Structure 1
């Protein structure tokens, strides 16, 4: 299921995946499809996409899952745009 999330942000909900690697493969294919040049009357244009991936877990709310995907997407943008990043929960901090 795909839905517009905000101005130029969209969310895609995928079910039945084997894990994060399959989600990454699908995101890579999606980014490649979006990057294909489109001929308009005045010019040919291309678009890019930064993709954030978050995997559902038992007890995780829709809001938390969406926030994780958003955090991952902004990580992709910060790492150079037109990338895919998967949300990773920060590990425990070690005492100094």
Structure 2
């Protein structure tokens, strides 16, 4: 049995064309959604990596600074500073500040 397209009515062509157009649009939207998910995932991974690298650098700088401050706080200065007069507050001794 052969199928003859000339016997189909115009409304059948419109119906089938609408279905095909709907499938094409659905495929386009699905591809766009997948691309969006991939881009969001890549951006999220990049942000996570940058955040961790910068956070590690900040923690490293803070750790090094803490070591430096505590190391220099252990140094004793063998000098006594003489008192100086100040025009507004009178006399005061100079004190070598150190980490407490």
Query: Does TM-score exceed 0.5, indicating one fold?
Result: no
TM score, norm. by length of structure 1: 0.25
Say which structure, 1 or 2, has more relative contact order (CA 8 Å, 6+ apart): 1
Structure 1 or 2: more strand by fraction: 1
- The higher radius of gyration belongs to 2
TM score, norm. by length of structure 2: 0.24
Structure 1 or 2: more helix by fraction: 2
